[in-house]
Amino acid sequence: MEHVGKQQTIYFHIDVNNAFLSWEALFRMRELGEIQDIRELDAIVGGDISKRRGIVLAKSMSAKKYGIKTGEPVVSAMRKCPTLQSFEPHMWYYKEQSRALMELFQKYAPVVDQYSIDEAFLDMSGTYTLYGEPVAFAHKLKDEIRETLGFTVNIGISSNRLLAKMASDFTKPDKVHTLFPDEIQKKMWPLPVEDLFYVGKSTASRLHALGIHTIGDIAKTDFQVMQSNFKSHGVVIYNFANGIDFTLEDRTEAVQKGYGNSTTIPYDIKDSEDAYHTILGLCESICVRMRRDEVQALVLSVELKDSNFVVKRHQRTLLSPTDVTDECYGIACELFDELWDGSPIRLIGVSANKVTDAGMRQMNLFDMDSHDRLKNLDQALDSIRDKYGSGAVKRGGFLTSDKKIDKYDR
């Protein structure tokens, strides 16, 4: 193939087709002994239908024809399809399937970078002499996954990770696609802006308002226009539209600024409840700013300075990025509990880093529909404060404290 040389940098992006539905189907056939493959039914994974709760995590092809969308309430999906069957997820089994897939990748690829539970980047550079022409080998690998693990994948191939990921999203299922730089104009530019990595609903709406409707339109828009309208995020998607990848190569570097706040306390905190109240105020301050900027953070950290001026820090990478106050507060309290040794505290700080466009949150099974519910509550509080002032409404946690903790940057 003319795109691929023996010494060329080659990446595979491998993504499981309809992972949660495929893995739930395997669970029911292998573990429960069921004969019927739920992938052939009007089926979703997403909650207990008898309790009429939960959201759609995955849907079958036939269910999709009824207009059922991932992320919508199960109750709503049932209205669209009277024959719909809903199955509760078995996360432990999905993790086992993911682990088996990654182990198979490690048999062949020098470098495997798991990007989520159902996708990974494989650096296949330098493997030409081992496996031959990359596209032909990708077909063999795809078939091996189907035959040995029981589910299908798409494989995207390119000279950088961004284009490989874009290629894997082309026609599904069980396909191999290439998207090399000289194929961008033909294969990627005609696609709608929503198909570009890092373009969420909010960004897409703003792009349409500017008359930018395809990825090619983004690529051809003046760089200064993109930067002035979307700040650093505009730089990212402009480069992505032109096939330039500078974020997926090293995800340890933050693409945009972080958000942080700290406070020096006028008395030494010696009780965890006092610390929790302070942390709540800091988290709310940070999350308000993230929501205003339409970004979410993937890493949260807590800093403590004790009465002897000894500073300690602790951080955690989240399953999914967030700008929800309650989510950040819960994690920050856990970090505090793991960090604090009981010494009197003079300063507490909270920071949120590795931020991305708010529309790029990837659903995970551990928060189900709670994230959207909490986010809607936060946005309602933000609107009230914007209209009537920051003191117009306060969280109950503040009202129960006899300490003054409401002086935070907003």
User: 3-state secondary structure string, the chain?
Assistant: CCCCCCCCCCEEEEEECCHHHHHHHHHHHHCCCCCCCHHHCCEEECCCCCCCCCECCEECHHHHCCCCCCCCEHHHHHHHCCCCEEECCCHHHHHHHHHHHHHHHHHHCCEEEEEECCEEEEECCCCHHHHCCHHHHHHHHHHHHHHHHCCCEEEEEECCHHHHHHHHCCCCCCCEEECCHHHHHHHCCCCEHHHCCCCCHHHHHHHHHCCCCEHHHHHHCCHHHHHHHHHHHHHHHHHHHCCCCCCCCCCCCCCCCCEEEEEEEEEEECCHHHHHHHHHHHHHHHHHHHHHHCEEEEEEEEEEEECCCCEEEEEEEEEEEECCHHHHHHHHHHHHHHHCCCCCEEEEEEEEEEEEEHHHCCCCCCCCCHHHHHHHHHHHHHHHHHHHCCCCCCCHHHHCCCCCCCCCCC
Asked whether residue 247 is domain-assigned, the answer is no
Asked whether residue 18 is domain-assigned, the answer is yes
Asked whether residue 410 is domain-assigned, the answer is no
Q: What is the pLDDT of residue 37?
A: 96
Asked whether residue 312 is domain-assigned, the answer is yes
Asked whether residue 37 is domain-assigned, the answer is yes
Q: What is the pLDDT of residue 379?
A: 56
Q: What is the pLDDT of residue 245?
A: 83
Q: What is the pLDDT of residue 248?
A: 52
CATH number for 118: 3.30.70.270
Q: Are residues 389 and 280 in the same domain?
A: yes
Q: Are residues 178 and 195 in the same domain?
A: no
Q: What is the pLDDT of residue 216?
A: 97
Asked whether residue 349 is domain-assigned, the answer is yes
Q: What is the pLDDT of residue 251?
A: 41
Q: What is the pLDDT of residue 52?
A: 47
CATH number for 301: 3.30.1490.100
* Nearest by Cα to 124 from 133, 253, 3: 133
Contacts 24+ apart (CB under 8 A), 250-254: 251/354, 254/353, 254/354, 254/355
Q: What is the pLDDT of residue 137?
A: 97
CATH number for 201: 1.10.150.20
Q: What is the pLDDT of residue 236?
A: 85
Q: Are residues 297 and 332 in the same domain?
A: yes
Q: What is the pLDDT of residue 139?
A: 98
Q: Give the residue numbers annotated as catalytic, written as ranges.
A: 119
Q: Are residues 228 and 160 in the same domain?
A: no
Placement of tokens 């994948």 in the chain: 153
Q: Are residues 84 and 171 in the same domain?
A: yes
Question: For residue 188, with 0-12 CB atoms within 10 Å meaning exposed, 13-18 middle and 19 or more buried, which class applies?
Answer: buried
Q: What is the pLDDT of residue 55?
A: 79
**What amino acid occupies position 380?**
A
Give the full edge-to-edge strand order of the sheet including 58-59.
58-59, 43-45, 85-87
Q: Are residues 76 and 213 in the same domain?
A: no
Q: Are residues 290 and 219 in the same domain?
A: no
Q: Which domain range does residue 160 map to?
A: 1-185
Of 185, 209, 231, which closes a domain?
Answer: 185
Which residues does the chain have with pLDDT short of 50?
Answer: 51-52, 249-256, 361, 365-369, 384-385, 387-393, 397-410
Q: Are residues 68 and 217 in the same domain?
A: no
**Assessment of whether the complete model's pTM goes beyond 0.85:** no
Yes or no: say if 13 and 119 are a contact pair by the CB < 8 Å rule: yes
Contacts of 144 (CB under 8 A, 6+ apart): 104
Q: Are residues 311 and 267 in the same domain?
A: yes
Q: What is the pLDDT of residue 63?
A: 95
Q: Are residues 175 and 202 in the same domain?
A: no
Structure tokens at 237: 């998607």
Asked whether residue 251 is domain-assigned, the answer is no
How many residues are recorded in the chain?
410
Q: Are residues 301 and 173 in the same domain?
A: no
Asked whether residue 31 is domain-assigned, the answer is yes
Q: Are residues 235 and 282 in the same domain?
A: no
Q: What is the pLDDT of residue 408?
A: 36
Phi/psi zone of residue 214: left (φ > 0), alpha (ψ -120 to 50 degrees), beta?
A: beta
> How many domains does the structure of the chain reveal?
3
Task: Report how far residue 70's alpha carbon sits from residue 372's, in angstroms, rounded to the nearest whole number.
Answer: 13
